[in-house]
Structure 1
Amino acid sequence: MTLIFAHRGSAGTHPENTMESFIAAERSGADGIELDVHLSKDGEIVVIHDETVDRTTNGKGFVHQLSIAELKELNASYKFKTFQSFIRSPKIPTLKEVFEWMRGNDLQCNIEMKNGKIMYPLLEEKMIQLIRDYQYEERIIISSFNHYSLVHCYQLAPELETAPLYSDGLYMPWVYAHAIHAKGLHPNLKAAPDMIIQGAMADGIAVRPYTVNKESDMERLMNIQCSAIITDYPAKAVKLRRKFFK
């Protein structure tokens, strides 16, 4: 059965990478969530997509130049007007906050390290220590466009699953996955034709394309029983999956 990972939570319907978005993903029936991590100025692992807070909050500046206290002051639904509230606006969560919430469910969690442009010192070590502290080794997938970082994660914690992200076509990407000790591949949907997906899965490599939002694309991937899809609309994907896997 094709698993459904909620991209930045239910990002199509809720402010991305917020607890509100992750809770909506759980309620939709998704199998997992996907989120992005950076380090704050004081070394906290925080969940936000961009290197800056400009696009998704009412603040400005680089994440790594703001303390956790400063980041927590921001409204993380700034561009999502329907979620603005006088009582409590959605905030930028820490990875630890997400892990605490995960104690109450069985969701898998795909952590994307956003360290392609800014090399955060000890991000891998801090993240892996937190995973081990919560004993989530079986629930976590680590992905990144920085494949050097994924190899470093494997060296630190070979028990954890890693999956390289990529956006252009690769020849026999499952061979590459084995070369860097990855158990999965996370290609852009445009770089994931059926032949490539089926070839990888036949070689024991899970394939989870992103970002799969059109029903026609969901149907195509479910028809070939793709390992998983990463989507902004988990509720739509769950509803569609019921037709394929009764």
Structure 2
Amino acid sequence: MKDVMIFAHRGSKGTRPENTMAAFMEAEKSGADGIELDVHLTSDGVPVIIHDETLDRTTTSTGRVEKLTLADIKEVDAGVKFSGEYSGERIPTLKEFFDWIYNKNLLINVELKNDVVAYKELEEKVIRLIREYNLEQRTILSSFNHESIRKLKALAPDIERALLFENLPDDYERLLTEAKEAGFHPKAKGLTAEIVSAAKKQGYKVRPWIANKPEDMKRLAEYGVDVIMTDFPALAVATLRQ
């Protein structure tokens, strides 16, 4: 179990406002090995870190990210809905996150949120930033949009890519064989030891999302996964390392 890596899902989402610098800093403090985050594009083409297509759930404002400028985005409070203690927390840009993490010993999983909105040049902009900070060897790019994964492969074959799955199709082994990618990111619920073994036989790193209870973390570790993604990285560290 001690060999399984721990990725903080949207930062320390269970204890801090998700996808904010407060969540990312807490993830580092917890002892996590990596941080998973989500990226959309503003109307003026800036990659920003937020999970949903809209501001409604996590901020004090409303509206679609694709329709708002970076200036609009920076006006909203992304922390107070979680707790008044985090009032004033802002939606970070991907560049701001890279400014913070580039000299830290953490892996990065950037999920491109282009399975609902077809953001123009999202792949190019994310790759450009990764190269600007020389983070090619520490970054994993993932998406539910497997066409986007193919585009990333053509644009940046040197940066690891991972296939995200919500509901695993019956022919998942065929899909993995044809894709020839490095990462397999299935939903943890319903995952079996047989599925993990089948993916690993094809050379995939298996990183399920998400496990928040100690018994689920232990079960996935026993299946032989490479990474556990969790909203509670400190709990995962205590469960699997101590």
TM bucket by the smaller chain?
A: over 0.9
Q: Distance in 2 between matches of 1:116 and 1:170?
A: 17
- Pair 1:53 & 2:52 matched: no
Q: How does 1:75-86 map to 2 (within 5 A)?
A: 75-85=77-87
Q: 2:11 aligns with which of 3, 9, 12?
A: 9
Matched residue type, 1:76: A
Q: Which residue of 1 aligns with 2:151?
A: 152
Mind listing any 5+ residue stretches in structure 2 that lack a counterpart? none
Q: Which residue of 2 aligns with 1:64?
A: 66
Q: Which residue of 1 aligns with 2:126?
A: 127
Offset of residue 203 of structure 1 = 2.4
Offset of residue 164 of structure 1 = 1.1
Normalising by structure 1, report the TM-score. Answer: 0.94
Q: 2:75 aligns with which of 60, 73, 86?
A: 73
1:204 match: secondary structure:
coil
Q: Which residue of 1 aligns with 2:211?
A: 212
Q: Please identify, of 7-16 and 224-233, the stretch whose mean Cα deviation from structure 2 is larger.
A: 224-233
CA contact (8 A) 2:17 2:86 kept: no
> Structure 1, residues 28-59: CA drift from partner, whole Å, max 9, x if none?
00000000000001100000000000110001
Q: Distance in 1 between matches of 2:173 and 2:111?
A: 20
Q: Distance in 2 between matches of 1:193 and 1:95?
A: 34
Offset of residue 171 of structure 1 = 4.0
Q: Which residue of 2 aligns with 1:103?
A: 102
- Pair 1:168 & 2:170 matched: no
1:190 match: secondary structure:
coil
Q: Distance in 1 between matches of 2:133 and 2:36?
A: 18
Q: Distance in 2 between matches of 1:100 and 1:11?
A: 21
* Alpha carbons of structure 1 residues 174 and 108: separation in structure 2 relative to 1, 3 Å: farther
Mind listing any 5+ residue stretches in structure 1 that lack a counterpart? none
1:162 match: secondary structure:
strand
| Residue-pair matches, total | 240
CA contact (8 A) 2:9 2:37 kept: yes
Offset of residue 113 of structure 1 = 0.7
RMSD over equivalenced CA pairs, Å: 1.3
Matched residue type, 1:32: G
**Identity of matched residues, %:** 47
Q: Which residue of 2 aligns with 1:18?
A: 20
